[in-house]
Amino acid sequence: MFKLYNKNMNTKFTAFKTPVGILKITADGNKITAIGFAAREGRSAELPVVLQEAKKQLLEYFDGKRKSFKLPLKFPASASAFRLKIWKAMCRVPYGKTMTYGELSAKAGNLKAARAAGGACNKNPFMIILPCHRIVGSDGSLTGYAGGLNVKKYLLNLEK
């Protein structure tokens, strides 16, 4: 869960109610730096256009009007090359479809890294935008999700 207060003066945020809980979007300059859950609603005094657009796109997604996102993302500098490959491969899982962790790791170039793919999904900095909710266990079962399996199930049902 993200804190609503951030000491970095360049970082701005908005946190708002959605069908799955309160989502917080943070941005540094004109790029989104994170999307995750928050404890309460709120926002920075000055809301940059990129945050307004991200909120709009997420609300359109929840209304069933958006199937993909067009937002400038700033990935963590600490992310490994493999995690970046996993996150990029995750974006290629079509709306309404699922893929196993093994299939995802293969798409990222490593057939035997299903566990590492799971770890990368767990560290996904852009919930929903990078659709880790579309990644399932090898038997098709719903496994691990930062928002809980009930949220993962909701998102997958929304996309049907």
User: How far is the C-alpha of 78 from the C-alpha of 37, rounded, in Å?
Assistant: 21
At 87, give phi and psi (nearest 5°). -60, -40
User: 121 catalytic, yes or no?
Assistant: no
Cross-strand pairs, 140:
none
- For 141, the 3-state DSSP assignment is coil
User: How far is the C-alpha of 26 from the C-alpha of 5, rounded, in Å?
Assistant: 11
Nearest to 125 by CA among 15, 36, 21: 36
Helix, strand, coil percentages for the chain (3-state, nearest 5): 35, 20, 45
User: How far is the C-alpha of 70 from the C-alpha of 113, rounded, in Å?
Assistant: 29
Question: Considering 132, 135, 151, 155, which one is annotated as catalytic?
Answer: 132
At 126, give phi and psi (nearest 5°). -130, 70
Catalytic residue numbers, as ranges: 132
